[in-house]
Structure 1
Amino acid sequence: MVPTTRVLAALAFTVAVPAFLLGWLWVVGRLEAVLPHRLQRRLVPWLWLAPALVPVGVFLAWPLANTVWLSLRDAGSGAWAGLDNYRYLVTSTEVHTALRNNLLWLVLLTGGCLVTGLLVAVLTDKVRYEAVAKAAVVLPTAIPFVAGAVIWRFMYQYRPPGLPQTGTLNAVLTAAGAAPLAWLVDTRTNNAALIGVGVWMTAGFATVILSAALKALPPDLHEAARIDGAGPWQAFRHVTLPQLRPAVVVTATLVAVSAFKAFDIVYVMTNGNYRTDVIANLMYRQLFVAQDYGRASAIAVLLTLLAAPILVLNARATGRAGR
């Protein structure tokens, strides 16, 4: 049973936050009415932004600054370590392996989701079975990543040749006369197999965004292209795809960030073994297994630095599209 104090605290927070925001808006409105015009231009915009800037500072800026500080401390955060933790990032082979795998995730997961989402959105547009086809692609997004990883671990299950194959994929291969594959152990296939699970679980997200953007395009453009003699491929390349660029950029950014944060699938299916480690899984091991807070914080800073350029490129691309 939930303690009464927690219920009261939750109710108080639920009532206090909207009440504070309403009160703040009222105060700012009154100040805007009485302040001189010159002071209004300088002060009032920041007062309007304060309710948003304060949570950003408390829940984003301060934890980030604290993480950078911890990355300069030793394993127990008790003594100054300087750049030792960052020297570990530069020299460690396990970090290099994780970075290489994250690059694979970035390219293959983003590309796979965009291609799948575009294909489903375009090919099923305005057909009778559109809802069924999209539902089949979107349905895996409702499954938690851990549950999806467990499902696909059974799908990839391997037994030596000559024994009955309990894994679905290897059962199909042996039925076709081919040898079974150790999907999650063989370094030639394991990273691709893990990323394939990620595409299966994320492509529906890309499909929803790209399909909505496709349906929002004005039909006059395609009619004009057909009148000018453009074929289906030419109309898609020169009319549809440029109009979908903002949606493609936003989708690619969100999927790319999720590629850097890939953890659940790797942790459940291989735990980073067989050269499948990624940055998030390495950070987890340093923090909760090795209990090295300095190295874990340095890896977190590295992960932030890797994701930051993608967000900057997204902001610039969407800004240009808006103009």
Structure 2
Amino acid sequence: MTAQILSAIFTIIVGVGGCVVYYWGANKILDAVFPSRGVSGAAAVDNLRRQGLIRPWLFVGPAMLIVTVYLVYPVIETLRLSFMDRGGENFVGLANYSWAFGDREFRNSIFNNLLWLAVVPAACTFFGLIIAVLTDKIWWGNIAKSLVFLPLAISFVGASVIWKFVYEYRAEGQTQIGILNAAVQYLGGNPQVWISTPFWNNFFLMVILIWIQTGFAMVILSSALRGIPEETIEAAVIDGANPFQIFWKIMVPQIWGTIAVVWTTITILVLKVFDIVLTMTNGQWNSQVLANLMFDWMFRGGGDFGRGAAIAVIIMLAVVPIMIWNIRQANREGGGGH
């Protein structure tokens, strides 16, 4: 543990220090190559213009290089592999896609992903909105928001480990250490193996992501609610509107764009959900999702690059339209587009 902590600290120091040295050094070199001091007026103006053209690339360039190497190239390579055979050597056309839509496990993964899409974004947005409204009315609202936001700081794997203890099952006659089974037993019910119950285990896994992402939804929606003009609320109160009417007919319509952005952002996350399923069930008991199935075919027992890549492309094709709409909606909300 000590070695890991020291390694993490060393990585942070080297990473942050390296960035500082790079940007400081790059600016120094740029100023030396195109000096704006100690030269004639016309030359100084030309050098300042050149600095203005080059300096943004000193900051953006490394990020673009990293994105190209670690995002653009893998996308192109994945597309290529999706048309290749098991070893990624021979061209097989659309055979991998034909296999995918004819495979029972793939169809089950699609069904599970659709369940996640139907439940998680709606639940996160709803709970986030309700919490944002309620915490704005109480003096300890910021403390409550901090507690709700806290799970977002936990990794998906860490959150899954926590919830494994919540769902933990012990055989009959043993003390139930899982919170849920202990509560069920206390109320006179029978403990259950929650995460191995087909179909319903999907919902128990969804609870983990809802627990994590509700804080994200709450923060964004709370900010949007504070942007609602007080005059509209006061006018509604004067007209005799009750709190429920003010919420649904005044507040929600004015922040609908933000609600949509939050909804679609979580939708993109759900389409790529992987860590929770891998940690909790490893896709067993009919809990498989597309990202987990892709991982199995690409890197585990399947060992089929073509099929794994085809599933990855299908996930990408599902995510990209939502992501584009999300960016446009966010730009529209921020006044950057129409």
TM-score, normalising length from structure 1?
0.83
Structure 2 counterpart of 1:159, from 166, 170, 183: 170
Task: Report whether the alignment pairs 1:149 with 2:156.
Answer: no
Q: 1:8 to 1:257 in 2, by over 3 A?
A: closer
Q: Distance in 1 between matches of 2:82 and 2:270?
A: 23
Amino acid in structure 1 at the alignment position of 2:118: V
Q: Distance in 1 between matches of 2:199 and 2:120?
A: 17
Cα shift at 1:269 = 0.7
Aligned to 1:309: 321
Bigger Cα displacement from structure 2, 194-203 vs 222-231: 222-231
Identical pairs, percent: 37
Aligned to 1:280: 291
Amino acid in structure 1 at the alignment position of 2:305: Y
Unpaired stretches in structure 1, ≥5 consecutive residues: 35-46
Q: Distance in 2 between matches of 1:205 and 1:221?
A: 26
Structure 2 counterpart of 1:293, from 301, 305, 314: 305
Amino acid in structure 2 at the alignment position of 1:292: D
Aligned to 1:261: 272
Deviations 1:241-282, CA, capped at 9 Å, x for gaps: 122123212211221111011111111110000000011111
Written as runs of structure 1 = structure 2, the 5 A alignment for 1:30-179 is 51=61, 57-179=68-190
Cα shift at 1:304 = 0.4
Aligned to 1:182: 193
Bigger Cα displacement from structure 2, 270-279 vs 244-253: 244-253
The answer as to whether partners of 1:249 and 1:318 remain within 8 angstroms in 2 is: no
Deviations 1:27-61, CA, capped at 9 Å, x for gaps: xx959979xxxxxxxxxxxx99x958766555433
Cα shift at 1:14 = 5.6
Q: 1:176 to 1:239 in 2, by over 3 A?
A: same
Q: Size of the alignment, in residue pairs?
A: 309
Deviations 1:49-79, CA, capped at 9 Å, x for gaps: x958766555433321221011111122122
Amino acid in structure 2 at the alignment position of 1:296: G
Amino acid in structure 1 at the alignment position of 2:176: Q
Partner SS for 2:194 = coil
Q: Distance in 1 between matches of 2:100 and 2:213?
A: 30
Written as runs of structure 1 = structure 2, the 5 A alignment for 1:203-218 is 203-218=214-229
Amino acid in structure 2 at the alignment position of 1:295: R
Partner SS for 1:184 = helix
Deviations 1:115-153, CA, capped at 9 Å, x for gaps: 110111001113112122212211111222111111111
Cα shift at 1:163 = 3.7
The answer as to whether partners of 1:140 and 1:204 remain within 8 angstroms in 2 is: yes
Q: 1:207 to 1:9 in 2, by over 3 A?
A: closer
Q: Distance in 2 between matches of 1:213 and 1:180?
A: 43
Amino acid in structure 2 at the alignment position of 1:285: D
Q: 1:55 to 1:30 in 2, by over 3 A?
A: farther
Q: 1:304 to 1:212 in 2, by over 3 A?
A: same
Structure 2 counterpart of 1:194, from 184, 201, 205: 205
Output the aligned Cα RMSD: 3.3
Deviations 1:72-119, CA, capped at 9 Å, x for gaps: 111221221221211121111111111111111112110111011011
Q: Distance in 1 between matches of 2:74 and 2:94?
A: 20
Q: Distance in 2 between matches of 1:162 and 1:67?
A: 51
Partner SS for 1:173 = helix
Q: 1:275 to 1:227 in 2, by over 3 A?
A: same
Task: Report whether the alignment pairs 1:231 with 2:219.
Answer: no
Q: Distance in 2 between matches of 1:9 and 1:308?
A: 31
The answer as to whether partners of 1:106 and 1:259 remain within 8 angstroms in 2 is: yes
Q: 1:277 to 1:221 in 2, by over 3 A?
A: same
Cα shift at 1:194 = 0.2
Unpaired stretches in structure 2, ≥5 consecutive residues: 1-5, 8-12, 35-44, 51-56
Amino acid in structure 2 at the alignment position of 1:88: W
Q: 1:91 to 1:233 in 2, by over 3 A?
A: same
Aligned to 1:44: none
Q: Distance in 1 between matches of 2:192 and 2:267?
A: 29
Q: Distance in 1 between matches of 2:332 and 2:68?
A: 28
Q: 1:17 to 1:86 in 2, by over 3 A?
A: farther
TM-score, normalising length from structure 2?
0.80
Q: Distance in 2 between matches of 1:122 and 1:240?
A: 10
Q: Distance in 1 between matches of 2:135 and 2:296?
A: 43
Amino acid in structure 2 at the alignment position of 1:171: A
